[in-house]
Copies of this chain bind each other. A is one copy, B any other.
Amino acid sequence: MIHISIIGMGLIGTSLGMALRSASKETTVLGEVTITGYDHDQRATADARARLAIDKSVKKLEEATHNAQLIILAVPPQALRELFVAMAPTLPHGTIVTDVASTKTQVMAWADELLPRTVDFVGGHPMAGKEQSGPAAAEIDLFKGTLYCLSPAPRTKQNALDVVDGMVHHIGAKPYYIDPVEHDSYVGGVSHLPFVLSTALVEVTNRSPSWREMAPLAATGFRDMSRLASGDVDMHRDICITNREALTRWIDETVVFLNEMREYLNTDDHEQVTDIFQRARESRETWLQNRPNMRPGESEYENITGSAVERPGLFNRMLGMRGPRDKRP
């Protein structure tokens, strides 16, 4: 039996609660789970409760922190500093604290500075999300099969790390241990640069005086490339601010690339232009080959085979046939 409190009933906090409460008792690593939810917006807590993400809602931060064994902070990165300050005096010895922020270096530094030495902090970052935000967008399977970055602080005790590791397994994700600086550089490239480029596309087309005439011509390519620009504004800002250094390097690399492309176009260098598109296509194909569940439209397939592994009889019944061995002469 473990008491978990989730602070912040947004997309991630609510999805975490749903996933934690729904894990079957047979396969659970943590044992039985009781979840308390808190959000400064009481409607969000009520919504999360209605979605069965929490067992109990509380109206004060202290009620969520003073007797939890594990506290998950699911608030935007910029809100974490203040939250550490507010909760620090309420935390009993041995409390385990983790967060879900998309940047880790700044957050680890705040935790080290502001949390009492008597609690254990493990930085966390689930590699899952969607452009919608809030408890209404939460999904019970949001973390299934995804990676979950973990950065324990240097003085974090092993048993605390085991609990957070267990929580990650409990929701169907895989722990990925990583240094905070490396984490920020990597996700800067594969997660933050994408939403900056998506925003760039929307901004530069909308700035054009011809946007009204262009807009009807924008089709699925534009829609998909602009999707991330619909993400949560505060989260995007917080990520950019707390990951300024890594993101600046990625922006610079992108400008270098765009200027190369411009140069090749204007010197009519067909070969270089072809090479770029060829290489990008192959690189993406290789990435997809290593990540079969990323193949668009194949997620349903994965879900089917995923449950089939647990219940092999079901798979055969679904296919309406016996196994291959039965067919041998």
Contact = CB atoms under 8 A, between A and B. Distances in A.
Interface in A168-207: 176, 182, 185-187, 189-191, 193-207
B176 A189 contact: no
A281 interface: yes
A190 B207 contact: no
B225 A198 contact: yes
Chain A interface SS verdict (over half): helix
Interface string A288-304: 10110010100000000
B229 A227 contact: no
Nearest to A229: B280
Given A205-B193, A216-B176, A277-B236, A200 B262 contact: no
A218 interface: yes
Given A127-B219, A225-B197, A237 B284 contact: no
Complex A-B, nearest 8 residue pairs according to Cβ-Cβ distance, in ascending order: A190-B218, A194-B225, A186-B214, A202-B280, A229-B280, A204-B253, A199-B280, A236-B277
14 contacts: A128-B220, A176-B216, A186-B217, A187-B217, A194-B224, A194-B225, A199-B280, A200-B257, A206-B283, A224-B228, A237-B274, A241-B273, A248-B266, A258-B258
